[in-house]
Structure 1
Amino acid sequence: MLNLTTYGDQTDSPTLLIAHGLFGAGRNWGALAKRLSQTRRVITVDMRNHGESPWYNSHNYKDLAADLAEVIDTLDGPVDVLGHSMGGKAAMVLALTRPELVNRLIVADIAPVPYDHGQMQYIEAMKAVDLGKVKRRADAEAQLSDMLEDPILPGFFTQSIDIKAKKWRLNLEVLAREMPDILSFPKDLTGPFEGPALFLSGADSHYVKREYRPVIKQLFPAAQFAKIPDAGHWLHAEKPREFEAALRVWLDQSAASAT
């Protein structure tokens, strides 16, 4: 089963399960999870081939959704599910294939469509890091900074380095091979998911275009849309307080409307 971290205790509010994006880990969401756990139990997971979770030879969204379902099956009742990017696609597939497990769905800056932007350059950059010279994260960040333009990414990627073992906590070979599946979205899904759904995106991001909304509404007819100003794809890292505030407002409003 996936490696998971639990924050807070079960309350009258539904548990919130958080699924991270490509090259991430549950620990990336620790600060938000701690703050949200004041009112509900929050569980972060390491997705397969990431963090401390098992490595597998496949990495498609049906498998990722099944992994999340396995976690939820150990809990009591349906949960709220928040997924970012790759984790958002996995969360959508979970909601469409196992709707009884999902109370409410929050999708952060991704849509149920295929994308053609590249991710292989990041895998090649991580492979190019000389781990033998890495004694602390800053050493790896310096190497990656010479290869990547985005100043956010070196610090993000190096959270997945095991400094002592001098290895990545990412199954880079499988992620590279499965990249076509990661960039795509399954077409043969049942649905729709009728429950509350929030598609929260960065105003400066191009991942959730207006022309994608008909596709989203077809699969998630109750979908609502919100944008965080001055934020890109990494909206939860770029604007953490604004992301948290938007999430809290929607969770409270959707809970009130259900009563």
Structure 2
Amino acid sequence: MRTERVADTDVRFRRGGAGSRAVVFVHGFLDDQYVWDGVVGELGGEDIETVQLDLAGLGERTDAEGPFTLDRFVSEVGAVVDALGKPVVLVGQSMAAPIVELVAATRPERTLGLVLMTPEPLAGTHLPAETVEPFRRLGGDPRAQREVRRRLSSGLGEADLDRLTVIGARVRPEVVRALVDCWDTGHRDGERASRYTGPVLVIRGGDDGFVTAEDAERVRRRFVAADVAVVDGAGHWAHIERPTAVAALLDAFLAGTPAAGPAAPRAGRQRWRTAFTDKSADAFAQAFAEEVVLEATVLTRPVEGREQVKQVLAAASGIYESLEFTHDGSDGPRTYLEWKATAFSGMPVQGVTVLTADDDGRIVRAAIHHRPLGAALRFSHELRARLQGRIDPACFYDGDPRPA
């Protein structure tokens, strides 16, 4: 193992092994980077490097100053990913699951996959005050911390409990309160489908009383391509309780994750989804190459150039009342996205979008296929009205907006 530091920060990370891709492990509430040692020691996959780090206020960084927020943690873990300079699989336990998801969403071209271990929801738990307050008071109370861990686990031995209690007891009370606020309040992105569209594995302990089967399923449903695995005989700290079983799940996940991965189409797909979520012309502009071409069922002819295309798609995203990407796939530089939506007071619209990305992950061509015909014609007519004076009206349908 070797330790490195992110330039001009107090963020240090340990690197072990060598490979064309890295597995970055991020610990959860009251824990530190060393809780992953058992899993790391059991990994059998080849061509991987392992990376572990402490979040601010925890582990070897208990003296760090605040603020202790999700945004700060995402920024620091993202900086570690950037420093590695290679594709990564991100693994986050409990409170760290939202952190690694947000890192992946901002670095789709670098992230090969996500593993969410006994995950807190990105939207937050929003526990009743009488339930969350005992967690906020855990700072400076080792006995209470030990009892919480014992209650939420089934496979932690006395030595494990001793070690974890020592780690948690070092965390300042004000940091504990801030961390609880992080995972209880959550992040606004959790109220919608995840911006990360790559492969995801959700792992829960079969005896976890905090993250139930229903909770894990709610997390899974936010992703386009996610599976749930259960570790029997383990609770909330499955990676410590059953490290061999968790390592086997990680090895299987890594075996299905290409060493380099289709970075360009993955990045293009991510930028496309993000732009439709944000519904802004600027967000679409960031997704497109300068000479992008847009073709669509709702257009009578292609629209060309970033400035023109971003106007059309920003207007189109505003027409949808809801939009869900249901399936996707890639073939070389192309990505295929199947979606369903509603518009015009609940009218169902479905379709398939084909995106072609360049080597930098910028979209150079988008082809959007709408159905049924009536919805497509009404959509085109509405775009014509909304883009009057900005886009040539000859690009749109000008007949009856509600054909029989």
TM class, shorter-length: 0.7 to 0.9
Partner of 1:184 in structure 2?
185
- Partners of 1:65 and 1:94 within 8 A in 2: yes
Counterpart amino acid of residue 78 in structure 2: A
Q: Does 1:157 align with 2:164?
A: yes
SS in 2 for 1:223: strand
Q: In structure 2, how many angstroms separate the alpha carbons of the residues matched to 1:34 and 1:233?
A: 20
Which SS does the other structure have where 1:44 is aligned?
A: strand
Q: 2:204 aligns with which of 201, 204, 217?
A: 201
Indicate the residue corresponding to 2:16 in structure 1: 7
* Aligned mates of 1:66, 1:86 — CA distance in 2: 15
Distance (Å, rounded) in 2 between the aligned partners of 1:238 and 1:5: 22
- Given that 1:120 and 1:176 are in contact with CA atoms closer than 8 Å, whether structure 2 keeps it comes out as no
Q: Does 1:79 align with 2:83?
A: no
State the partner residue of 1:239: 242
Higher strand proportion: 2
8 Å CA contact retained: 2:200, 2:226: yes
Matched, 1:170 2:188: no
8 Å Cα contact 1:36/1:42 also seen in 2: no
Q: Does 1:55 align with 2:83?
A: no
Residue range with higher mean Cα deviation, 115-124 or 181-190: 115-124
Residue pairs, 1:115-134, within 5 angstroms:
115=125, 116=127, 118=131, 121=134, 124-128=137-141
Using the TM superposition, name which of 43-52 and 106-115 deviates more: 106-115
Q: CA 1:146/1:210 → structure 2, altered by over 3 Å: closer, same or farther?
A: closer
Alignment root-mean-square deviation, CA:
3.0
SS of residue in 2 equivalent to 1:250: helix
Alpha-carbon displacement from aligned partner over 1:116-158 (angstroms, at most 9, x marks no partner): 27565456455145xxxxxxxxxxxxxx289726544742433
Deviations 1:212-239 (Å, cap 9, x if unpaired)? 6355433x21111111112111111111
Separation of aligned partners in 2, 1:150 and 1:102: 31
For residues 44 and 75 of structure 2, the distance between their equivalents in structure 1, rounded to whole angstroms, comes to 25
Aligned to 1:213: 217
Give 3-state SS (helix, strand or coil) of 1:21's partner: coil
The answer to whether structure 1 residue 43 and structure 2 residue 56 are counterparts is no
Show CA shifts across 1:17-56 (max 9, x none).
0000010000111232234387321010101111123623
- Per the TM alignment, residue 68 of structure 1 is displaced from its structure 2 partner at its CA by 0.4
Distance 1:70 1:230, change over 3 A: same
1:64 to 2:73 alignment: yes
Gaps of 5+ in 2: 1-8, 151-155, 263-404
TM-score (norm 2): 0.52
Find the residue that maps to 1:74 and give its secondary structure: helix
Paired position in structure 2 for 1:229: 232
Contact 2:26 2:91 survives alignment (8 Å): yes
8 Å CA contact 1:197, 1:222 repeated in 2: yes
Q: SS at the partner of 2:103?
A: helix
List per-residue Cα deviations over 1:52-79 (Å, max 9, x = no partner): 2362322222221111011111111231
Query: Segments of 4+ in structure 1 off by > 6 A?
Result: none
Deviates more, 1:58-67 or 1:173-182: 173-182
Which deviations, in whole Å up to 9, do the C-alpha atoms of 1:155-209 show, x marking residues without a partner? 2433427xxxxxx542331331452223232114795211111111112224153
Structure 1: stretches of 5+ with no match in the other structure: 130-143, 162-167
> How many residues are treated as equivalent by the alignment?
235
Task: Work out whether 1:148 is the aligned partner of 2:147.
Answer: yes
Counterpart amino acid of residue 184 in structure 1: T
Aligned residue number for residue 23 of structure 1: 30
Distance 1:5 1:238, change over 3 A: same
Alignment partners' CA distance in 1, 2:146 and 2:113: 39
Query: Residue 59 of structure 1 contacts residue 182 of structure 1 at CA under 8 Å; is this kept in 2?
Result: no
SS of corresponding position for 2:57: coil
Check the 8 A contact 2:32/2:59 in 1, yes or no. yes
The structure 2 residue matched to 1:114, chosen from 119, 124, 129, is 124
CA distance in 1, matches of 2:102, 2:133: 24
Contact 2:139/2:171 (8 A) holds in 1: no
Q: 1:7 to 1:169 in 2, by over 3 A?
A: farther
Q: TM-score, normalised by structure 1?
A: 0.78
**2: CA distance, partners of 1:255 / 1:245:** 17
Q: Is the 8 A contact 2:116 2:201 kept in 1?
A: yes
Q: Is the 8 A contact 1:109 1:202 kept in 2?
A: yes
Aligned equivalent of 2:257: 254
